[in-house]
Structure 1
């Protein structure tokens, strides 16, 4: 629960434990660091959910008039794009979700990823979008790295770990004990005024949201550069060894992402891509037919791809055609239907396939969890996520308001919760530190530093104690 405010008053005749005071102090200090990051994540999350749930990642839906004849061949639609952008390299085709939607093509031009909407019946170019500079793209980059690259990623990872500390300490502080009743936690007391009114609202909202916030933090942490990329993602990655006798590239599926954006399913990002030119695989494009965007699009239809799906073109001499439909790209509203197929660019043979049923158990859980996190499961999911993001903003702001009302008038001291005289600082703090260090190494390392700073400096120097107390 995001807060920088004191714990609730204990019931009459109940003496607060020393660990209760330590938990309150940790909750306060974690909030100093976490609250700005939670506000950022909630606000950028609001932007991202708006586009995934109510528009598209490229902006408003582009519609067309359905013609009485079949759509033009994909190559003819692509040609209209290349005539407009003669120096561009075609990278991707996105099939329309419904017959009255535009086709999209992604081209690389002078280092810029440009998405181009085309009327599939007339071949007319309808819209051009700089894919790297949409509202969604900027929100996702800020959400993941603060536009600071690896430094921003690490700062957010630390904040997410400390947010889990806030959830645990918040639940401990507000858990009913003594004369405190469950009703006072589950429902806010709107009869109160001033700081108690804010505290009651904050406690109830935080209590109800704690499990959801924990789920969001864990799915978000799965993308981070240390806990996610180094520890969790390798355990949950689809093993390319399942593709028997298929030569593998040095590139992974993550290379198919647009820079700064996640479009490949989490469980495939670290899986090696297959390579073209070996003669491996099963029959895909019929013998005697050329292997091009039209025959590969026809193969996608025969393989069961319908509605919106992606065909990424080979990049490099050994690259492959990649056919995919998944929730990460906004194609589907059901992650259990995720599917990725690779096709040899020379022979048209199907080299490899990975569907939801093939994922390891962790990858399956993450596919569902991330879809919920992003609001991909339908309008109900998008509306709930918008409500959740707004609630997190309220938790952060209410924590700040409570701290402001608690501080002495005219004072700019932090007014940190005092340490108990008989405190289990090292027992309690070391226990929390060990658990976090094992579960989240980066956060655990920072927590160790904070513990040492608090013990060696803050608790021993009067000047620091006066500034914080």
Structure 2
């Protein structure tokens, strides 16, 4: 065979592999940053997905009670029992309305130092079963590790960056897997266990990656709206464009409690209570300073979680003009039940004269979501926000959240989320083995550059677009590109 023939034969292969090492290099950098976070996200996400099954196993003596034939005690009696078990300066801020025969009643109190404690009461006997720190219970720690690595704002930004770089990792990974030359669909989609050594690990990594790519993409896109930086900006954009929330839920409506009229000579002498807790003027030790702040929104309330659509919804407030009698908790729970929400919701309690009862109903089916504001004096419904009131963006995010958390179609959804999460952790493991087997001594082991790489305008445009949509990621993309050109600029290049 002549030299010309060899060159002509080799040309198609060279053309087919053009840009391969460039994609591999970007895939390597993305994975180098993402994989440690991906393992943490996979483990913590899987645990949180099974929260309904795990928590009763962790705290059975607090959460679980023996069902009895006798009727449950009233909500106000249970709240009084819980309050008696807490320090005098603790304020009741949330009631968890479960209404399940074998579950205890839970009330959340804010202590003088700002910490929050859950108090569990037997709904049949009124016995206090124990307390748990809201911030330090296992699932809350797991959730904060998942969202922000327990590092506050810096950790939240790191997790957001990891999610964004996962998009680069997915895109380049699919491009590297894409069948070339004579590769069959079976070879691309089914592991070849007959291979040995690094070739086997590479095949397993590629095949696992393509099966998990869609799930990983779904996890990223449904998780980002809840992120601390981009998620808040995205929510603000949805607010201004008004495709993301019902009319008035972001402001613009005069939502205020109606204070009952009182004679001037009775205002100073009337002793008020909210759910049995005295409330005086603004210098009261029990008044929540936070609840008196103008511009307070749903995300500021002491609720475990609220629907994304109403996170920025302003909480109604009334003018502080005196000491008044608020409705007892039992009356409010009955009022909410008459509106069609009977259990499985969190009720934020008013802790000041300007407060309202706030119902956050966040069930597995997004179509059933409800957020209600109820006047603490008259029981009037100030606002009732339902799924049908949401805009297109909020509806999509609501469904994405339910699927992301493994709630939408029950145990099958949990298992699917766990399989994807643990599969991604397996991807991190196989990628690490591949790198370990090919790494040079005293070197990062990044794939060498191509001496004459193609323009790859589509990929570059995609990266620029990602950088514009996710500005925090755009800054790191630029940093990685500069580091690759300067710090690693002397790396060996692939022969032409």
Moved more, 136-145 or 248-257: 248-257
* Structure 2, unaligned runs of 5 or more: 1-9, 258-293
The offset of 1:241, in angstroms, is 1.7
Structure 2 residue 483 is matched with structure 1 residue 453: yes
Counterpart of 2:411? 379
Give the 3-state SS of the residue equivalent to 1:458 in structure 2: coil
Counterpart of 1:353? 384
* Structure 1, unaligned runs of 5 or more: 1-10, 279-288, 327-331
Distance 1:62 1:104, change over 3 A: same
- Measured in 2, the distance between the counterparts of 1:381 and 1:433 equals 32
Structure 2 residue 405 is matched with structure 1 residue 405: no
Structure 2 residue 306 is matched with structure 1 residue 307: no
Give the 3-state SS of the residue equivalent to 1:14 in structure 2: helix
Higher relative contact order (CA 8 A, sep 6+): 1
The offset of 1:32, in angstroms, is 1.0
The offset of 1:316, in angstroms, is 2.9
Counterpart of 2:400? 369
Structure 2 residue 429 is matched with structure 1 residue 419: no
Counterpart of 2:311? 269
- Measured in 2, the distance between the counterparts of 1:21 and 1:390 equals 28
The offset of 1:353, in angstroms, is 1.1
Q: Residue 396 of structure 1 is aligned with which of 423, 428, 433? A: 428
Give the 3-state SS of the residue equivalent to 2:50 in structure 1: helix
Moved more, 246-255 or 120-129: 246-255
TM-score, with length taken from structure 1: 0.86
The aligned length equals 433
Counterpart of 1:238? 245
The offset of 1:17, in angstroms, is 3.6
Greater gyration radius: 2
Distance 1:52 1:69, change over 3 A: closer
Distance 1:174 1:135, change over 3 A: same
Distance 1:96 1:191, change over 3 A: same
Counterpart of 1:7? none
Distance 1:57 1:219, change over 3 A: farther
Counterpart of 2:20? 20
Give the 3-state SS of the residue equivalent to 2:433 in structure 1: helix
Q: How does 1:148-227 map onto structure 2 within 5 Å?
A: 148-227=151-230
Residue 245 of structure 2 contacts residue 394 of structure 2 at CA under 8 Å; is this kept in 1?
yes
The offset of 1:226, in angstroms, is 2.4
Give the 3-state SS of the residue equivalent to 2:344 in structure 1: coil
Structure 2 residue 135 is matched with structure 1 residue 105: no
- Measured in 2, the distance between the counterparts of 1:56 and 1:371 equals 21
Structure 2 residue 258 is matched with structure 1 residue 256: no
| Cα RMSD, aligned residues only | 2.6
